[in-house]
Amino acid sequence: MKGKYKIIIAILVVVTGISYLVFAGVKDTFVYYLTIDELITKVPEVYNDKVRVSGTVVTGSIDNNIDRSLKFKITDGDAVVDVEYQGIVPDIFADDVEAVVEGTLNEQNIFKADLLLAKCPTKYEGEDQLKNPNGYQYKKEKG
């Protein structure tokens, strides 16, 4: 009987240990995805929490420094967030491009990004969206 309890206790210890490791690993990799408005609304409780935010790069706000740091602003059309990033900048990153940043917002309301992604603009439009500058819709040739 004593041997049976030892096995059950050993199994419980192993299961508890594995459960803790899984939970701790998932917790560290979990990142909230917020809009700029949601980020600003959650200040100050969002300070120093890792979050992901998406917005359009404000025209003329990109400041590339010699030390490979990058400062720019993103907007959702209403609110603006200052972003600082140091790392590899995507080739398509430019003014008016939709950017996704991941990092933390500090007490000075500057978003310190660890990750910068730039979304590609749509290259291919649907057939119903193809228009020439005069507003006439192109029609598919029958053939």
- Give the start-to-end residue ranges of the domains of the chain: 1-30, 31-118
- 54 forms beta bridges with 35, 100
Confidence of residue 108 (pLDDT cuts 50, 70, 90): very high
Note whether 85 and 118 are within 8 A (CB): no
Among the four given CATH numbers 3.20.20.70, 3.20.20.150, 2.40.50.140, 1.10.287.3510, the one describing domain 31-118: 2.40.50.140
pLDDT of residue 72: 95
- 103 forms beta bridges with 51, 113
Mean pLDDT on 134-140: 47
The model carries a pTM of 0.66
